[in-house]
């Protein structure tokens, strides 16, 4: 069982922001911005490559609800999912990073020359 499934089952504590029958949102333990929340489906799905359109429809509404609840829906935020090892996915359970609460930069790509990336 993956770490996110253990969080869903309340075997590992987390700082839950919002929960419904299908999804769970909790604060990232290593935040990259003033607001950094992870939104996950309660049904284990390995990554975005395996998600169904029906699940994404529900996830979209859930992420929008989280953003509104934490007060970043008007100021702006970023939604990120990493897919696979080269995409930076560290936990094999579909999750979306909801990041906001400050003016966001492009991060590690901000000073990169695309010609040097390959």
For residue 39, what is the domain's CATH number?
3.30.428.10
**101 dihedral zone (left: phi>0; alpha: psi -120 to 50; beta):** left
d(CA 117, CA 6): 36
Residue 16: which domain range?
Answer: 3-104
The reply to whether 110 falls in a domain is: no
The reply to whether 118 falls in a domain is: no
The reply to whether 63 falls in a domain is: yes
- Report the domain count for the chain: 1
Asked if 65 and 84 touch (Cβ cutoff 8 Å), the reply is no
Residue positions annotated with a catalytic role: 95
pTM of full prediction above 0.85: yes
Task: Pull the structure tokens for residue 91.
Answer: 């936990």
Each residue's pLDDT tens digit, 77-114: 999 999 999 999 999 999 999 999 998 887 654 555 54
Each residue's pLDDT tens digit, 19-36: 999 999 999 999 999 999
For residue 12, the model assigns a pLDDT of 95
């Amino acid at each position: 069982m993956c770490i996110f499934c253990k969080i869903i089952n309340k075997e590992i504590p987390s700082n839950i922001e919002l929960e419904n029958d299908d999804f769970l949102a909790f604060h990232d333990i290593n935040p990259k911005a003033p607001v950094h929340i992870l939104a996950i489906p309660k049904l284990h799905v390995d990554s975005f490559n395996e998600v169904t359109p029906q699940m994404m429809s529900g996830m979209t509404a859930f992420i929008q609800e989280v953003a509104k609840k934490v007060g970043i829906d008007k100021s702006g935020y970023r939604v990120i999912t990493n897919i696979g090892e080269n995409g930076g996915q560290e936990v094999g359970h579909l999750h979306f990073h909801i990041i906001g609460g400050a003016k966001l930069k492009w991060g590690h790509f901000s000073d990169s020359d695309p010609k040097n990336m390959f």
